[in-house]
Structure formats: structure tokens, C-alpha cells
Structure 1
Amino acid sequence: MAEKEERLIAEALRAQAASTPEPSPPAEPSLAGYGLYSGTDLPRTAPVEPASPTRRLPPPDRGVPVLAILILAAALGLAAGAVVGLLTLL
């Protein structure tokens, strides 16, 4: 029974592969296909202006210490755990 099903599937795949047309070569891209009104008479690249010199930014000041954030997170976790535990007991 399984061989018959496998053979049917194989034949169907061969028939589908035989009826599939070969893909056509990709067309050369043009600027006209991108909705430009002026057509393809535009230059391919825009002129590039020289970059301005870079400068380092000052380091950001730390408004809230990391320890305070960790304590707050632990307190909120304990509070949430207490609420869930209380709801479990009810």
C-alpha cells in the first residue's frame, strides 16, 4: 500500500516538473520602473559632499544609581510574589 502511494506521489511530482516552464532571464533594472517622472536621464549616483570632522560626545551623567534600580526590581518582585501567593491561598 505504501509503495503504491509513493509511486503515485513520484509520478505526480514528475508530471508537475515536466509542465513547469523554465524561468526567463531577469530583465535589466531601470530607473523608469521606480515611478520617476523624468525617466532614466538621471545620474546613477548623487554627488557626495565631504564629511564634517567628528567630535566626541561627553559621557552621559548617571541620574539614578544602578543599586537603586536593583533594589526597586527586587522589591517589586517580592511584592508580586506575595500577591500571587496570597491569591493561591484564597
Structure 2
Amino acid sequence: MSGDDPERLLAEALRAQATRAPAETPQVGYGLLSGSEFKGLTPAAPGDDATTRLAETTKQLPALLILVLSLLLGLAAGAVVGLLTLL
């Protein structure tokens, strides 16, 4: 048996496993975690209620802060390059 082809052995093992498997497997629900695949558990959404949208608040960085940060980054990079040239 040591000279058997591994692919043939695998095919035979899978075939043997398939013949032992039950013909019909029960339906297992792997849907949403909220249980929406079970119609009796989720209440129907009311159709006439209007929804409200919250106002969006934009949070932007001020241009002055960005300029100051870029200036500090440029100074730090220049200081490192200057230090390396002195060594």
C-alpha cells in the first residue's frame, strides 16, 4: 500500500465519506445576528412613521493648525538632516 498515489487515496476517502453522509441535511440559518431570517421573531416595521435624520456636524482642523504642524515637522526634519551633516 505504500506505493499508492496520494491523490487516489484522498479521492477514495472522500468518496467513502460521501456515501456515509445523510442524503438530506437540515437547513441551518447562518443569517444576521439579529435573527432576521426567522420571520416570526422580528416585528414588522411601521410604514407610516417618518424617520428623522440627525444633522451632520463637520469636524475640520483649522488651516492655521495644519500650517503650524507642517512648519514644526519641517523644522524637525531640517534639524535631523543638519545634525547628520555635522557628524
TM range (shorter): 0.3 to 0.5
Structure 1-normalised TM-score?
0.44
Which has the higher relative contact order, 1 or 2, with Cα contacts under 8 A spaced 6 or more apart? 1
Structure 2-normalised TM-score?
0.45
- The answer to which structure has the higher helix fraction is 1
